[in-house]
Structure 1
Amino acid sequence: MNVSMDVSMNVSMNGLVRANEEGENDLKPNETYTGTMLSEIPFPNMAVLFKSGGLDFFIVDTEHGGFDHAALSGLIMTARLAGITVLVRLADHARSEITRLMDMGADGLLLPMTGGKEDIAAVVRHAKYAPVGRRGISTTRGHTLYAPTGIREYMRQANERTLVFAQIESQAGLDAIDEIVGLDGVDGVIVGPNDLACDLDCLGEAAPILDAIAAVAAAVRRLGKAGGIITSEPVFLRHAKANGMGIYCIGSELHMLKLACRGIIQQVEELQR
């Protein structure tokens, strides 16, 4: 079977990357997208499970997780073929890792601890082809489903569909929020409440984080970008929703397993009553 470029560019059309017929990113800031974190388990078919469970996306955590490149390649390819958006949370903005991840076919990247415009600008530069960035060109790879055609048109479409998000987890990120959100090539920002609370020295206090969520949400509204949050804390989720954010990354595969185990225990305990 001859796999066309249209197929390779539109695999993720039902996920967070709502690609239109031309393969362009049609991410809508006002829509709701629900996902989870993949923290440690390198099972490629986890992408299929997430898709069959109705999720729009998942984030592979290479900041804290121990995924090797072979595992990442399998996860990313399975996600693309299953039609669920896969983002990768980076450890930093190093070119070498970004190049590998994009050539594997990742739909987008999330930079943790984004402290300013320069941090996220480096991700855009390495993840996007010219004229937007300086991504190296190697087309017979997973990102084209090994069927490259029309290099100039492919580069344009790849730039359109590649998502870049900044994770706001510090006072520095909050202070530079307009510059970060407003940078060309940045699709949006996602709040990380835990590290943000640590940086603000307010662990266990909700009010400063609620204020930060509102400030980030106001910035993305002003600049027409997408906003979201990574948390399972109901008060933060509700506040993000009330302020118009649409991207919700809740829990992880590890949380799901723990909750399922507790559910099994509860079922057995109920049998004994």
Structure 2
Amino acid sequence: MNNKMKRVWADGASCYKVLGAFIGFPSTPLVEMCAYNGLDVVVIDNEHGLFSDEQVEYMVMAAEAAGITPLVRVVSADPFHVLKALDRGAHGVHVPQIDSKSLAEQVVEAIKYPPRGKRGAAFSMRAARYGTIPTDQYLEEANRETFVCIHIESIKAVENLSEIASVRDIDAWYIGPTDLSVSMGLKGDIYHPELLAAVDVIKREAQRAGVRLGIHVKDAVGARDRFEWGANYVCLTVTSLINRAFHDYNTQSRQLFEPS
């Protein structure tokens, strides 16, 4: 595995801003379109989306062929879900709702092979190229290249940041502003001053811990603003792009012909 997302940071481009999209429904062509339009990452959203393991694997294959890094947002920190995504060949996982040190450690252990972790090995799987490479080479590559991303998206997680920060081998924290606002009783208001203050706290703790920081946005303006704010990694849900394109196409096409 050659994880382009990790390589671009490891090879000295520490300020490179990674841009991606979450896809919540099966579509290999959409994965390819994300790649051909210059995005760095596609996140196959198996938390809220509806995918079979086979569909996840096909989308990972499409991403690799098109040259974009394939990640999977799994359902939970349960090692079963993490293992399924990684055996399909995903270059890393997003794990939602991590709000304690013990859960963060569980994620790392599920992703890493021994001695660091507890991931079960099956060299016949796609991730290991069906057993066609030396096992020691595969184990080393997988532990080095797999992207480990945990979601910070609850008030409990914010309260436990200092403990979460002590867990080794996490590449990035990813802020989910909508979930965080709901957990704070703000009903999805991602622009509420209390929510924005909590997001700033997460940024400071991530910088102190030396981990990359990702955040979810709604549009290109939000992505630009969050990059300027200090995020290393920004994604939106691909339906946001599609809905905006439909809206613009519809309204702009009809403008001249609608009664004033």
For normalisation by structure 2, the TM-score amounts to 0.89
Query: Aligned partner of 1:157: which letter?
Result: E
Residues 19/269 of structure 1: CA separation in 2 closer, same or farther (3 Å cut): closer
Residues 238/177 of structure 1: CA separation in 2 closer, same or farther (3 Å cut): farther
Query: Aligned partner of 2:6: which letter?
Result: V
1:93 aligns with 2:96: no
1:108 corresponding residue in structure 2: 92
For residues 147-226 of structure 1, the aligned pairs below 5 Å read 148-203=132-187, 204=189, 205-226=191-212
Residues 145/44 of structure 1: CA separation in 2 closer, same or farther (3 Å cut): farther
The question of whether the paired residues in 2 share the 8 Å contact of 1:128 and 1:134 is answered with: yes
Residues 113/29 of structure 1: CA separation in 2 closer, same or farther (3 Å cut): farther
1:3 corresponding residue in structure 2: none
Alpha-carbon displacement from aligned partner over 1:26-83 (angstroms, at most 9, x marks no partner): 596532111111022x112322111001101021111111111111110112112222
Alpha-carbon displacement from aligned partner over 1:69-100 (angstroms, at most 9, x marks no partner): 11111011211222211221111112222111
Q: Supply the distance in 1 between the matched residues of 2:65 and 2:221 (Cα, whole angstroms).
A: 35
2:22 corresponding residue in structure 1: 37
1:17 corresponding residue in structure 2: 6
Alpha-carbon displacement from aligned partner over 1:191-235 (angstroms, at most 9, x marks no partner): 111110111112335211221221111112112210010121688
Residues 82/141 of structure 1: CA separation in 2 closer, same or farther (3 Å cut): farther
**Structure 2: which 5+ residue stretches go unaligned?**
none
1:63 corresponding residue in structure 2: 47
Provide the secondary structure at the position in 2 that maps to 1:113.
coil
Provide the secondary structure at the position in 1 that maps to 2:56.
helix
How much is the aligned-residue C-alpha RMSD, in angstroms? 2.3
Residue 153 (structure 1) shift: 2.5
The question of whether the paired residues in 2 share the 8 Å contact of 1:29 and 1:226 is answered with: no
Taking every aligned residue pair, what percent have the same amino acid on both sides?
Answer: 26
Q: Supply the distance in 2 between the matched residues of 1:123 and 1:214 (Cα, whole angstroms).
A: 24
Query: Aligned partner of 2:127: which letter?
Result: H
Residue 242 (structure 1) shift: 4.1
Question: Which of 237, 240, 243 pairs up with 1:251?
Answer: 237
Query: Aligned partner of 2:180: which letter?
Result: L
Q: Supply the distance in 1 between the matched residues of 2:44 and 2:177 (Cα, whole angstroms).
A: 18
1:268 corresponding residue in structure 2: 253
1:75 corresponding residue in structure 2: 59
Provide the secondary structure at the position in 2 that maps to 1:262.
helix
Residues 80/148 of structure 1: CA separation in 2 closer, same or farther (3 Å cut): same
Provide the secondary structure at the position in 1 that maps to 2:130.
coil
Residue 270 (structure 1) shift: 3.8
